[in-house]
Chain A
Amino acid sequence: GQQLNQSPQSMFIQEGEDVSMNCTSSSIFNTWLWYKQEPGEGPVLLIALYKAGELTSNGRLTAQFGITRKDSFLNISASIPSDVGIYFCARLQSNTGKLIFGQGTTLQVKP
């Protein structure tokens, strides 16, 4: 019940294309987080989701908390070269604040 399944594992796209990635879990929980990690750096929080059905945007990024509370997706519109990195979904264990991470989606953007 702890594991998060993130897909796709990697993506190689052309600049300007839209991107979609998702994360699923076998159990219900209350918080989805999406992070981006660039090489040699720590993950940076992109979007936090707290309610089932919630849809939140951050610039060209949009994320949704699935209505079943078992999944989430992240969309990036009109990708640019600086979008390159690894995108992680994570769930927050409410009583401890512990994060459980997905395996990550590696995004490469061709100029």
Chain B
Amino acid sequence: DGGITQSPKYLFRKEGQNVTLSCEQNLNHDAMYWYRQDPGQGLRLIYYSQIVNDFQKGDIAEGYSVSREKKESFPLTVTSAQKNPTAFYLCASSMAGYLNQPQHFGDGTRLSIL
């Protein structure tokens, strides 16, 4: 059953702590993306990667970091430098970014501050 799997579904962070959100896809997609969604708002792009071992900053990259060591995996770390991390985080993937292929999304991780 192909798709995008995000884990965990819910995550809690203490002040000053880094946390990592997992995103795995078995769709053989080249491009992967991380978005942040705040209540009542649309999605904003954090980071994206069009190919393994390469990634680019999106519109709101400050306080976040990513890696792309494998084609199927694109973990997002929310660092202590991100002062307002409470949000719904969505991972997406597409065949290849430059080919106008629509993105498909996982079911998200909701991050809250303790």
Contact = CB atoms under 8 A, between A and B. Distances in A.
Interface in A23-82: 30-31, 33, 35, 40-45, 48, 50
B100 A31 contact: yes
Contacts of B50: 96-97
Given A30-B100, A42-B90, A43-B90, A98 B58 contact: yes
B101 interface: yes
The range of chain A's interface size is: 20 to 34
Interface residues of B, number: 32
A96 B48 CA distance: 9
A101 B42 contact: yes
A92 interface: yes
A44 B103 CA distance: 9
Contact of B97 (A33, A42, A88, A96): A96
Interface in B1-40: 4, 6, 31, 33, 35, 40
A44 B98 contact: no
Contacts of A40: 107-108, 110
Given A43-B105, A94-B98, A104-B40, 9 more contacts: A42-B108, A92-B100, A94-B100, A97-B97, A97-B103, A98-B48, A98-B58, A99-B33, A102-B42
Interface of A: 30-31, 33, 35, 40-45, 48, 50, 88, 92, 94-99, 101-104
Q: 3 closest A-B pairs (Cβ-Cβ)? A: A97-B97, A42-B105, A101-B42
Interface of B: 4, 6, 31, 33, 35, 40-45, 48, 50, 56, 58, 90, 92, 94, 96-108, 110
